[in-house]
Structure 1
């Protein structure tokens, strides 16, 4: 273990324990969860998610890092409100079951290929855009604090490119709060354990929550993590990683959590050259998982601290934490020249955040986008070029 392992592991954990935690708190606020339910949700996803990735890293000696799906949490911030905590638990359980089934059966790749990646990216970009736009009114409400946070976003990467801009937003934003904001008195923080939630299964929950959550975890977390590992010269256990993420998601759902899985960007960081020599990079993932699990252990205390933060600051951090995902999703979606109107339709529908027939806009964006692609023949250009390329290779 060396300093590169430690720094990469800590930065990886910060990805999950900053914007990710605030997103989950936002879900609790819009869904009307009690503090006990919110503590249960936070603590279980970080405890299990961190522990899961520690075990995988030590067992396979591969840098596998993660906690929960931040993209799924972003989706749930707008989709979870109509459902009770029992219905959400049932929906998360079904999502985990779908992921585990795909892992154990080994058909993940074939299933994911049925949904064009540009449509998934445009759907995700549409959902996240609403949060990014809210940075502007947050700045208007508190220009001094928001101005310092934005300054941190641009200044910190100039100091070191290995430090994520979000850390600069947090540090400078908190500094601004201490200088220009009067914090209220902290509430009592009684120790709370994760508590069991009896799941309720509904068709609406399956269509509006389970399927989108499973798709987002598979495409934006697991697929990204596995691709990053292969890119950096590792041979990950693909089917087992998928199955274990599914089982982990099903388990945490029984305590209100939405997922426990390997993380895309967290694994990418821990498996990169910045994490040190290749044979020791798994220690970066172990450190990341340890920090994540520790965060979950003290969630009952941390949630009180986060509750002291003003609404505009939470909005600001949430928006900045999703900028990277928004940028990559937009680039991936609209860079695909063989998908034009289908991607645009999916993007617009996702932005609307309007449910129809009890089904969320995320699902409708994929359905309408997929139908449009078929009717307009979009995507076939790429398929023909790939076929020609394969024939030439033979």
Structure 2
């Protein structure tokens, strides 16, 4: 059951902002096409109104940084049960798409631009060797009935990668707002699906651990991350938006390229520009302008959220100096700033090197 969202306007009086149904679902579709960060910050659009072999049309087809395809379907005038059946029908077609199929669809929707180039521009990484190893179905709706909720939950419990995202539309004067709520927490849904799918080519994810690259430079320094409790990325939204996958409560292992793993902690806040991040020193909130940083350009592009550093708060359970980093050729590492940490050998090595961070696992 999704949590109901409400908004109150604070002024001389406290007023509840009324929910207003979108006049046209095409308006929501246009918003999703313009900014896929609305349903998921880690997606790149492959195509819109993609024709299937049965002459039906997928509203939006996207890909994530791991090469998994995402089908995003609006409920439109269909009954909730019908849209679930339709999404499953699309999944049966999407699962057969190969690299050349995806490249063709992308080129048709992007004026002939190459899919590999678009992927590199979006994720600052080369296309994974394996494409479409799995896929995700997302239904966009303003509401669904309890029976359909039970159907979706049943499918997830039995390994079907499907979820529902709800959008509420609020208006205050000339300003309009969308509020997003998931039927099932995306991380929990992914864990349930992977637990059921014994034929996956990659190791299952435990629903908890993330790998995060902390690229040291004049923009960010490990000493600052330890001192103030954060991880960061910046100099472009294609970098900083990856941090939005990290939600409070998840465990993160920080990796510095060419150095190794230097810390493990728990995420405490969602990603936010550095100017809005709450810095606490000795229990007191301090303005960022009053703080010393080892990185000389930590406050770069301070007033521009497109380019500035974005931070997620982290409560470090255990950190080490770079000279004591966990290294080894067998340990997991890759070019993505944020990804799920699945490699069991790496997790076991981290537990030995950072035992304070894995105490609950061994209890």
Q: TM-score, normalised on structure 2?
A: 0.27
Q: Higher RCO, 1 or 2 (CA under 8 Å, sep at least 6)?
A: 1
Q: Point out the structure with the larger strand share.
A: 2
Structure with larger Rg = 2
